[in-house]
Amino acid sequence: MISITGLSKRFADAAGPAVDALSLEIGAGEICVLIGPSGCGKTTTMRMINRMIEPDSGSIVVGGRDVTRVDPIELRRSIGYVIQQVGLFPHMTIAENIATVPQLLGWDRARIAKRVDDLLTRVHMDPARDRSRYPRELSGGQKQRIGVARALAADPPVMLMDEPFGALDPITRASLQDEFLRILRELDKTIVFVTHDIDEAIRMGTRIAIMRAGRLVQYDTPEAILARPADPFVEAFVGSDRALKRLSLLVVSDHAAKDPPPGGAPTVLQSLNLRDALSTLLSADAEVAAVVDAGGAIRGTLTLDTIRAAGDLKTEERR
């Protein structure tokens, strides 16, 4: 869907290149997270995709079109854009904000009104109550919901998101991450997502591109990056708790044994991840947990040994 080849950019006043011969393939429906320390070129890379920044060399092909050969205005109208500070228009109502791109594209009123209401419902806002409110009346989390709805308005196949949850408190952030992950998957969008938060990257990404000094250091699935960091930089970047992070990607039901649990074993929900299950076992000082479904019915057992084996990065390496 997005194909980046040999992309470079050097800013006039900078010592080194911001982006240095970067190549990256992003498949349709992927959530590609660009991550790295400040100044690694992740935001610059993202902004070159919709030509907010013009590349010095290299090519970017989006949906078969070389972006440098498309009118930048038309290009930007066909790509969703969400930024950390949201940037809602303070003088416009929520509905007018969401209607921005459809209006620029010349949709008729009825179609725009319907689209606005559909999107408000999708991001869990109430159209009747919220469509005529103003941005200043919203909380930070609500603003970002509208920011995402606005970017989705003209149904672009590709979305660029620059630290969209960075300005939110941890609780709001976690719930919005889950919510948007679901929405974006439902809509089957291809997403380029910039963050500096490795936990967010692991949670949101189908693939993670780790960047350093304008170069791509490692590009792989979250599981693979946690299991096999390409070099000491990536290993340090993903953190010393990468084994635990990996457990958080694995679901209890995939690792439970069918055996009936012993009496008095602590229970864990089958939809939990192994990291939470491990925590339950440790706090109960137990070796075995009973796996239950949402209704409370026993589904099997999960042992500490199973978790240990699942989380063993060496096992993963041999596979």
Partner 1 sequence: MLADAWHYIVTHPTQFGTALGVHVALSACALAIAALVAIPLGLVVARRAGWALAAINAANVGRTLPSLAVLALAMPILGTGFAPSLTALTLLALPPILTNTIAGILGVDRDVVDAARGMGMTAGEILRRVEMPIATPIVFAGLRTSAVQVVSGAVLAAFIGGGGLGDFITAGIAMMAVPQLLVGAIPVTLLSLAADYLFGTLERRLTPLGLRAA
How is residue 259 written in tokens? 């055996």
Give ∠ CA 265-266-268 in degrees, rounded to 5. Answer: 125
Beta bridge partners of 4: 24, 60
Closest CB 1 distance from partner 1, rounded Å: 19
Closest CB 299 distance from partner 1, rounded Å: 47
Considering the rule CB under 8 A, would residue 69 count as an interface residue with partner 1? no
26 with 185: CB under 8 angstroms? no
For residue 24, which of 54, 76, 61 has the smallest C-alpha distance?
A: 61
Of 135-154, which residues contact partner 1 (CB under 8 A)? 135-137, 147, 150-151
- Binding mask 202-241 vs partner 1 (x if CB under 8 A, - otherwise)? ----------------------------------------
**Binds partner 1 by CB under 8 A, chosen from 64, 90, 264, 295:** 90
Residue 20: count of CB within 10 angstroms of its CB: 18
How is residue 218 written in tokens? 């490692």
Considering the rule CB under 8 A, would residue 302 count as an interface residue with partner 1? no
For residue 19, which of 3, 4, 7 has the smallest C-alpha distance?
A: 7
**Binds partner 1 by CB under 8 A, chosen from 54, 66, 74, 169:** 74
212 with 201: CB under 8 angstroms? no
Residue at 152: amino acid letter: L
How is residue 37 written in tokens? 């320390």
Of 36-55, which residues contact partner 1 (CB under 8 A)? 50, 52
**Binds partner 1 by CB under 8 A, chosen from 3, 59, 93, 221:** 93
**Binds partner 1 by CB under 8 A, chosen from 69, 91, 318, 319:** 91
Closest CB 85 distance from partner 1, rounded Å: 4
Considering the rule CB under 8 A, would residue 155 count as an interface residue with partner 1? no
By CB under 8 A, the count of residues binding partner 1 is 30
Closest CB 263 distance from partner 1, rounded Å: 59
Closest CB 294 distance from partner 1, rounded Å: 40
DSSP symbols for 23-58: EEEE-TT-EEEEE-STTSSHHHHHHHHTTSS--SEE
DSSP state of 126: -
- In a 10 Å sphere around its CB, with 0-12 CB exposed, 13-18 middle and 19+ buried, how is residue 153 labelled? buried
**Binds partner 1 by CB under 8 A, chosen from 67, 88, 183, 274:** 88
**Binds partner 1 by CB under 8 A, chosen from 75, 113, 243, 304:** 75
DSSP H stretches of helix in 78-126: 94-98, 100-104, 109-122
**Binds partner 1 by CB under 8 A, chosen from 89, 114, 124, 175:** 89
Considering the rule CB under 8 A, would residue 107 count as an interface residue with partner 1? no
Binding site for partner 1 (CB under 8 A): 50, 52, 73-78, 81, 83, 85-93, 100-101, 104, 134-137, 147, 150-151, 160
